[in-house]
Structure 1
Amino acid sequence: MIIFYDANCPLCTKEMRLLKEADKHNKIALEDINADDFEQRFNHIKRQDALAFLHGQQDNGEMIYGLDVTFAAWQTVGRHSWLKLLQLPGIRFIADLGYRLFAKYRRQITRIFCQSSCGIK
């Protein structure tokens, strides 16, 4: 699985670091969407789209998005099984709305809630 994430977002980077620490069998690759050659290496993904919404690619090439990426990633490493609750009808709708808001305002949210724990000023 490949996760395409915003390494300029301290909260996103922190989650990816925790994910990789849990990835004992190296099943997840991380790709910074801000890399200069990102769009050349992954021409099927527009950087602006990936900045707006988390993108992932399964081993079979299938693209997944948003909370589905988070769920699949933590499931891959065998952690946070409670995330399956976010897949339930009704809850999924609300969780997806919440994620879309988070994705849109992640930098502001990071500044407010994560200054000391994420190492930003």
Structure 2
Amino acid sequence: MELTIFYDGTCPLCLNEMKQLKRHDNLNRIGLEDINAADINQRFPDLDVVKANTVLHGLQADGSWLYGLDVTAKAWGLTGKHGWIKLLRLPLIKPVADLAYLAFARNRYRISYLLTGKKRCDNGSCNIK
């Protein structure tokens, strides 16, 4: 895998994003890991699950970590889709986009409810296939 993404599997919008990524990941370059998996710390001992629950984490093939919108930009870049996302990494836009992302991350369950009618995906109600 070129990028492993550690996402919140209880967040409906997060799951939707991961489903879209995998649908476009024709070369299988992206791996997905739910931070709520019972064995996540055994399989990824360097992952701080508490921090991963506040900001998206991505582990690159070379062992380096990406966070937040850097993960999103890298992932969509690997699929060749949504090229506009790289604009969010431009020097003048990046600080504002990162603040907006952190606000989203803090309020993702409320935003999910407003957009999907679901606050959380519990008991496999939104599993990725």
Q: TM-score of the superposition, structure 2-length normalised?
A: 0.87
1:10 aligned partner: 12
| Residue 101 (1) aligns with residue 103 (2) | yes
| Residue 74 (1) aligns with residue 76 (2) | yes
1:58 aligned partner: 60
Q: Residue type matched to 2:23 in 1?
A: E
Calculate percent identity across the aligned residue pairs.
47
Cα distance in 1 for partners of 2:28, 2:72 equals: 16
1:40 aligned partner: 42
Displacement, 1:112? 1.1
Instruction: Count matched residues.
Output: 118
Displacement, 1:114? 2.2
Cα distance in 2 for partners of 1:40, 1:63 equals: 18
Cα distance in 2 for partners of 1:70, 1:114 equals: 21
Q: Residue type matched to 1:2 in 2?
A: T
Q: Residue type matched to 1:63 in 2?
A: W
What runs of 5+ residues in structure 2 fail to find an aligned partner? Answer: none
Which is helix-richer, 1 or 2? 1
Q: TM-score of the superposition, structure 1-length normalised?
A: 0.93
What runs of 5+ residues in structure 1 fail to find an aligned partner? Answer: none
Displacement, 1:89? 1.5
2:22 aligned partner: 20
Displacement, 1:3? 0.3
Q: Residue type matched to 1:103 in 2?
A: A
2:94 aligned partner: 92
Cα deviation 1:92-112 (Å, max 9, x = unaligned):
111000000001110111111
Displacement, 1:115? 2.1
Cα distance in 1 for partners of 2:54, 2:70 equals: 15
2:117 aligned partner: 115
Cα distance in 2 for partners of 1:62, 1:88 equals: 21
